[in-house]
Amino acid sequence: MGNFSLTGGCRVNTLNLRQAIIQRVHDKSSEDLLDIIDSSVGADERTLPGLGVLFELIWQDTSPDGRQQMVETLHNHLASIPAPLEPTARQNRKT
């Protein structure tokens, strides 16, 4: 399942992107979904829309306490990594 693409192979012109991604994963097992997510995290940026749709589905079905826990996890992770450089700061470093 490692070569699975969240956006590949669907006719995006007849379905919107959200529907196409849901169609691609609709009948997958829990193990398949785990593999899809694991192989998409940190992969090419083209997987980000698919991960966003999957996160949206999770978010919609999560209790307020679960949502708060996810937000706290995200906040803690962001606080532990350096902030990305802004484009103007990168350009100034080159000179």
**pLDDT tens-digit readout, 31-82:** 999 999 999 998 888 889 999 999 999 999 999 999 999 999 999 999 999 9
Inside any domain, residue 28? yes
Number of independent structural domains in the chain = 1
Inside any domain, residue 11? no
Inside any domain, residue 29? yes
Inside any domain, residue 2? no
Inside any domain, residue 39? yes
Give long-range contacts, CB 8 A cutoff, 24+ apart: 15-22.
Answer: 17/49, 17/53, 18/53, 18/56, 21/49, 21/50, 21/53, 21/54, 22/53, 22/57
Inside any domain, residue 44? yes
Inter-residue contact 25 to 36 (CB < 8 Å): yes
pLDDT at 86 over 80: no
Average pLDDT for 79-94: 73
- Residue 84 has what pLDDT? 87
Domain encompassing residue 46:
17-94
Inter-residue contact 15 to 50 (CB < 8 Å): no
Question: Looking at 7-16, 26-35, 50-59, which range is the least confident one?
Answer: 7-16
Inside any domain, residue 7? no
- Residue 1 has what pLDDT? 44
- What single-letter amino acid sits at 35? D
b/e 48-85 (16+ beta carbons within 10 angstroms → b): eebbebbeeeeeeeeeeeeeeeeeeeeeeeeeeeeeee
CA-to-CA separations, 40 to 30, 32, 86, in angstroms, rounded: 15, 12, 25
- Residue 44 has what pLDDT? 86
